[in-house]
Structure 1
Amino acid sequence: MTRAAPDAAPDIPGLVYRQPLGSGGYADVFLYEQQQPRMPVAVKVLKREGLTPTILRQFVDEANTMAQLADHPYIVQVFRSETLPDGGAYLVMKYYPPPNLATRAKRERLSVEEVLRTGIQLASAVETAHRAGITHRDIKPANVLISQYGAPGLTDFGIAGRAVGQEEHDEDVGVSVPWSPPEVLYGQSNGDARSDVYSLAATLWHLLVGRSPFEQPGGDNSAYSLMPRIRATPVPQTGRADVPLSLERLLGHAMAKKPDTRPQTAIDLARALQAIEQEQRFARTPIVVLDESGHTTVADSRGQAAPEHTDPDRTSVRAPTVTSAQSYAPGPASRPATTETDEGPPPTTISGGALLAGIGVLMVLLVGTVVWAIGFRGGDEPSDLATDAPSASVTGGQGEPVVDIPQDVAIDGRSVSGGVTFLWNYAGVRKGDFYRMRIAASEAEVAQAEVTTVRKLPHTVPAKSGASVCAQVAVARAAGATSAYSPIKCVKGG
């Protein structure tokens, strides 16, 4: 017997209503069964109560946006959408069985390997949206569904924005506070690629811990309490012994208070996550993105050797499959080469006596990648690196960079007449090193302080007697490599 649809679930030709799936602020989601071909589908239906032209327009934009990105394996596929005679609307999507990632993170402890894999897959989806000129603006665990094969599906593009030069709405952007960056919460930005990077990193932190980064168990976690913490409090450690320091640093770097000091693109974040996979000897997760021609390709990180069957005069890009990105790193047999090209130098065929030399080059590249990945963040302080992305200071084989990043910066200070003098030390001092300092009147204000370039130490900051001066420092090199910031040191002026 066909189950009758409730009042909120519309009668849709070719679909039979089965049951409710969930409800949000402005829409309900129901399970239907498509009749030809027979399969379950999820139908998102606008609520009639409180419906405004703005909400309806956002709903239509969501349908168009998701349809534009529907071919991506980690974005929920849209089959059709329609506006109803009474002014409502519905959206028919691929069905993902419960639970979503928010529910899973509450129920179980996700492994580091799964979180890294999920992060790379979601970063692939986000990068693809960005290349299409679309900013998601609401990335959070509840907006990540999981297919029956374990693949994530990014959904809810209802408040997605278009890049500059395309149509943009004038209304205020609704946000999900716990996973949103400071510049969006405080109205300095409506969101861009760097804000999506922040939200994705906050989502991964949530998956590791089971709550959002600045939520305090048992404390006041209202929006008004969370917002100042997000703006001024350093990103906390996950507290998990199995989370490597490199991942702690990367998440802190990606949730930096200032957008300019985060990874600037989702694919940068994906490649950093891949480097941690390599460091931990986990199975490799491919990065699936749209290439410059608009074709979906698998773009692995730079410096990877091609399979033996690949044409040695070009770099291979493999055709994407959902299975290959789940729990193992596909070999040549499961990832056929295409004629697309990827970034990085062409692979060199190694044979005979050159084999040992080739292995040596690969080891140099691996070490360089791991050093780059673990150098993002140290301690609990915000990691707003005030420099461009690291560039090569030593060159390995095939022209690949091996970045030499200063480590373990420690800062100290003492009161002097008329101010405070700061000194610091770190491992691997090199001629030509210079320094980025952030100085403020309190520890909470340091993260938002302007960066001062210092060429020599010690460095004295003028201050009235008894006035507090707080500072932290990062070491920079002419080649572009920059350390994580030191812990914050506060001293009262003499």
Structure 2
Amino acid sequence: MTAVTGAAPMQHQAPVIRNLRYLRPLGSGGTCWVYLYEQKEAQRLVAVKVSKQRANNKSHELFLKEATFMARLSKHPAILSIFSAGVSRDGHDYIVMEYAPGGNCKRIMKTKPLSQPQALNLGVHIASALYTAHQQGIIHRDVKPGNVLITADNLPVLADFGISASTYRASQAKGLSIPWAAPEVIAHQSGGSEASDIYSLGATLFGLLTGKSPYEYGFKVHNEQELSEAITTLELPKLRRREADTDFERVLRKTMAHNQEERYFSALDFARDMQVLQAHLYGSMTPLIAHNTDPYPTSEELGTSGRLARLNTYRSRGNQTALRDRVPTGSNPKTLNPPPPKQHNTRAL
């Protein structure tokens, strides 16, 4: 995993890598160590992910696949950039990546849950990252708070494509994170799809609002088996109004529908509805960045006969609050304070 914070005990000496100066450990995950280096020529800090396993055909293939996927996507401002990859002198695969000093959203979630405006802002960013990956035929398969990092510019970025798969190649789910995984993935009916990525982003936003994964928030579960059973058989718990209003909850419930066909058709579709919510609740929107895609919804989509009307069809049974009855505040949402979005060519390798 790349989403690690805080120095942890290391069982491996940081590798000597050309043109990089080692600074300190950042942490470790199940399969890798992560170290902080300074890139001498560029004079920037970078995170280096080092495999715990000595390079062999299988491990090298996995690291190379992750590096290839991330390199294809890292021009996107909401996807963690990769700068290089290789094998260290002591025989361990490594990837040199953008350093995200803000840590990961798992830490943020446990410290203080996000407000609804912050969650919507983050959601649009990461949905645009997912949409870009899906356009390239890449399924992430492990979207969760721990894989959403905060950069030096205070922007959320999607990281860790270590178990990603091509949409054109059948693959079984490996290394899935049960609290955030879609029911069909847990039930081994799917190795991961665009629909399951969208579910996991919805679950991630739910967790960032509440401080817990959806089914750990709503039910007392004592182990992974009970959690898996809850996710695959029980209805999604309801949010408290202080965590999200009815309109955002409708969107999240659509995102995490048990039936894949009832979820959003695409991550772009999900992002657009979040933008509509931002516009009508707060009077401003987070721009969506994706190739050949307008950054904002059209006036028709924002109108009462467009997406706004469709949002009202997500109303939970017995809930009479309609989005069209709300009056925009005209104030800006309290977001993660991102700077203006970077152009695609500013993050070229």
Tell me the TM-score normalised to structure 2 length. 0.83
Q: Are 1:32 and 2:44 an aligned pair? A: no
After superposition, the C-alpha distances for 1:366-389 in whole angstroms (9 at most, x for unaligned) are 464323223224159xxxxxxxxx
| 1:106-121 correspondence runs (5 A) | 106-121=110-125
- 1:299 corresponds in structure 2 to 295
Provide the rounded CA distance (Å) in 2 between the counterparts of 1:273 and 1:202: 15
1:31: how far off? 0.5
Structure that is richer in strand per residue: 1
> Taking every aligned residue pair, what percent have the same amino acid on both sides?
36
Q: Are 1:129 and 2:129 an aligned pair? A: no
SS of equivalent to 2:214: coil
- 2:310 corresponds in structure 1 to 372
Root-mean-square deviation (Å): 2.3
After superposition, the C-alpha distances for 1:130-150 in whole angstroms (9 at most, x for unaligned) are 000001000000000001222
Relative to 1, partners in 2 of residues 1:52 and 1:216: Cα closer, same or farther, differing over 3 Å?
Answer: farther
After superposition, the C-alpha distances for 1:108-148 in whole angstroms (9 at most, x for unaligned) are 13111110011011000000000000010000000000012
Kindly indicate whether the alpha-carbon contact (under 8 Å) linking 2:173 and 2:190 is maintained by their aligned counterparts in 1: no
SS of equivalent to 2:244: coil
- 1:214 corresponds in structure 2 to 215
Provide the rounded CA distance (Å) in 1 between the counterparts of 2:297 and 2:101: 32
Kindly indicate whether the alpha-carbon contact (under 8 Å) linking 2:215 and 2:231 is maintained by their aligned counterparts in 1: yes
> Residue 310 of structure 2 aligns to which amino acid in structure 1?
W
Higher relative contact order (CA 8 A, sep 6+): 2
Kindly indicate whether the alpha-carbon contact (under 8 Å) linking 1:8 and 1:47 is maintained by their aligned counterparts in 2: no
Name the stretch that deviates more: 196-205 or 93-102: 93-102
Q: Are 1:42 and 2:47 an aligned pair? A: yes
Relative to 1, partners in 2 of residues 1:63 and 1:239: Cα closer, same or farther, differing over 3 Å?
Answer: same
Provide the rounded CA distance (Å) in 1 between the counterparts of 2:296 and 2:139: 23
Relative to 1, partners in 2 of residues 1:12 and 1:109: Cα closer, same or farther, differing over 3 Å?
Answer: same
Q: 1:79 aligns with which of 73, 77, 83?
A: 83
After superposition, the C-alpha distances for 1:206-265 in whole angstroms (9 at most, x for unaligned) are 010011000158943422111111011111122142522011111111101111110121
Q: Are 1:139 and 2:143 an aligned pair? A: yes
> Residue 311 of structure 2 aligns to which amino acid in structure 1?
A
SS of equivalent to 1:90: strand
Provide the rounded CA distance (Å) in 2 between the counterparts of 1:253 and 1:218: 20
Relative to 1, partners in 2 of residues 1:29 and 1:250: Cα closer, same or farther, differing over 3 Å?
Answer: same
Tell me the TM-score normalised to structure 1 length. 0.59
Provide the rounded CA distance (Å) in 2 between the counterparts of 1:279 and 1:243: 15
Q: Are 1:21 and 2:22 an aligned pair? A: no
Provide the rounded CA distance (Å) in 1 between the counterparts of 2:154 and 2:305: 31
Kindly indicate whether the alpha-carbon contact (under 8 Å) linking 2:149 and 2:158 is maintained by their aligned counterparts in 1: yes
Q: How many residues align?
A: 311
After superposition, the C-alpha distances for 1:79-113 in whole angstroms (9 at most, x for unaligned) are 00002355421000011003211101111131111
Q: 1:69 aligns with which of 68, 73, 84?
A: 73
Structure 2: which 5+ residue stretches go unaligned? 1-9, 321-349
Provide the rounded CA distance (Å) in 2 between the counterparts of 1:287 and 1:373: 19
1:18: how far off? 0.7
1:298: how far off? 4.4
Provide the rounded CA distance (Å) in 2 between the counterparts of 1:77 and 1:242: 32
Provide the rounded CA distance (Å) in 2 between the counterparts of 1:75 and 1:42: 14
> Residue 124 of structure 2 aligns to which amino acid in structure 1?
I
Provide the rounded CA distance (Å) in 2 between the counterparts of 1:114 and 1:281: 12
> Residue 161 of structure 1 aligns to which amino acid in structure 2?
A
Provide the rounded CA distance (Å) in 2 between the counterparts of 1:87 and 1:271: 46
1:57: how far off? 1.8
SS of equivalent to 2:215: coil
Kindly indicate whether the alpha-carbon contact (under 8 Å) linking 1:252 and 1:377 is maintained by their aligned counterparts in 2: no
> Residue 313 of structure 2 aligns to which amino acid in structure 1?
G
Provide the rounded CA distance (Å) in 1 between the counterparts of 2:283 and 2:33: 39
Provide the rounded CA distance (Å) in 2 between the counterparts of 1:199 and 1:302: 27
> Residue 236 of structure 2 aligns to which amino acid in structure 1?
V
Provide the rounded CA distance (Å) in 1 between the counterparts of 2:304 and 2:154: 29
1:24: how far off? 0.7
- 2:17 corresponds in structure 1 to 12
